[in-house]
Structure 1
C-alpha cells in the first residue's frame, strides 16, 4: 500500500451531521449560496439525508456558531450577511490570537528570499518602490493541524531591518506588529478552491473551499507589506462584532 493510500484510509469517516454541515458550508464558501439565500428547511435536509431532526439541527447549529448562517423564526435559516469592512480593520496577530484561545500554536518558515519586484506586477512595483522585496512563505498551525498558509512580501525600502530578522523563529506578522506601527490598511476577503500545492500544505482535499485574506499596510504613506493568508474553509471563519444605535 502506498503512503498516500495509507494516509487516505487512516482518516476517520465524517459523521452524518459533519457531512451535512460540510456540504452546506462548501455551497456558501463557493458562492453558490449567497448572503440572504435560504438554505433547505430542516425537514428537506432530513429527507435528503434520511436522518433525524437532531442530526440536521446539530449541523445547522454549527453553521450558526461559525457565523455562516442565521436562523429566522418561522422563516428558516439563511446565509449570513458578511460583517461590514469596519469590523475587519484590526490587524490580527495569528500567534497571539490562537494562544489567547488556548490553542497550541506552531509555525514553520517554508521559503525566504530577497528579490526584485516583478515588473509585470504593479502591486509589487508600488510596494518595492526603489528597493527590493523580502519574499516569505510560511505555515501557521493550531493544535497540530494546518491553520493558515501565508505568502508575504515586505518592502525593504520601508523596513530595512526585516532583511536581518530571523523569521524562522518569529512569524513575520508578529514581528511587523512589534516593529512597524501601521497607519493605513486595505484588505480583501474572498473564497477559492485549493490547488494541489495549497491542498498539500493545508492537508485538505484538492478543490476544497478556502477563505483568502489579502491585506496591504502602510506606515506614514510608505508601503510596508502585502500578505495573502489562505485558511481551510471548514476550519475557519472571520468574526466581527458591531452594534447599531437607533
Structure 2
C-alpha cells in the first residue's frame, strides 16, 4: 500500500502561505507586514506560533524585523562579498547616456542538461523562463544578456513579457535574494555574440555570469557579455573587524 502524503503542520502551512505572498509579489520588498497579533488572528493560531513562523522567515532572509518599527519584506542586498549586483539601466544612465533594452527572445521551457548543470543541484525539470536581449548605451550595444528565471521562485515573471521591462531591474525590485555567485571570464565573440554587440567575430569580450538564490533555491541565472574594449569591472574591499 503506497504511503499517504503527509499533511502539513499549521506552522508549515502558514510558512508556505507567507512565502507565496513574498514570491508572487503580493508583498514586495520593503512591504510592512501586519502586526504579529493580527496575523495570528488571520491564520487562527497562537501568537507564539506566528512568532516562530516570522522568526524562521527572518532567519531564511525573507523578512527583516526592526525594533519598534515592525516586520518588513527584505530588500535585495546591494552588494555581495566581491561584486555589486548592478542594475545595467542605472549603470548606463550614470555614464550620461540614453538607455534602451531590446528583447530578442522569450521562451518558457524546461532547462537543458547544460543549463541544469550550471543552475546547480536544486535544478529539476520544472519550466523556466528564458530571455535574451541587448542593453544599449545610446546607439551602441552595451551588453548581451542571456537570463534564466526559476518560475517556481518567481512565478509572477510568467506574466511579464519583458519587452519594455528590463528583467534584472524587475527582479531586483521584486525578489529579496539572499545569496549570489559571480564568475568572470574572458572570451572571444562567436558569430551570434558578435552580431548582437556589433563587433568583429573573434573580438575580445568580458563575460559575467551571476546566479542568485533565496533561502537555498535558485532564482535567476544571467550571463552578461560585454565588449572588452568598452567595459571594466571594479571591486572594492574593506577590512573587516573579525579579520
TM band (smaller chain) = 0.5 to 0.7
Secondary structure of 2:149's match?
A: strand
**Match 1:140 to one of 125, 135, 139:** 135
Residue of structure 1 equivalent to 2:216: 221
Aligned-residue Cα RMSD (Å) equals 2.1
Separation in 1, partners of 2:207, 2:88: 14
Separation in 2, partners of 1:222, 1:87: 21
Unmatched segments (≥5 aa) in structure 2? 1-79
1:117 pairs with 2:111: yes
Kindly indicate which of the two structures has a greater share of residues assigned to helix.
1
**Match 2:89 to one of 90, 95, 107:** 95
1:210 pairs with 2:205: yes
**Match 1:107 to one of 94, 98, 101:** 101
Count of residue pairs the alignment pairs up: 161
Superposed CA offset, 1:62-98 (max 9, x none): xxxxxxxxxxxxxxxxxxxxxxx8341x210000121
Residue of structure 2 equivalent to 1:26: none
**Match 1:165 to one of 151, 160, 170:** 160
Separation in 1, partners of 2:104, 2:81: 32
Deviation, structure 1 residue 243: 4.8
- The answer as to whether partners of 2:110 and 2:125 remain within 8 angstroms in 1 is no
> Once superposed, which parts of structure 1, at least 4 consecutive aligned residues long, lie more than 6 Å away?
none
Unmatched segments (≥5 aa) in structure 1? 1-84
Separation in 2, partners of 1:166, 1:111: 10
TM-score by length of 1: 0.61
TM-score by length of 2: 0.62
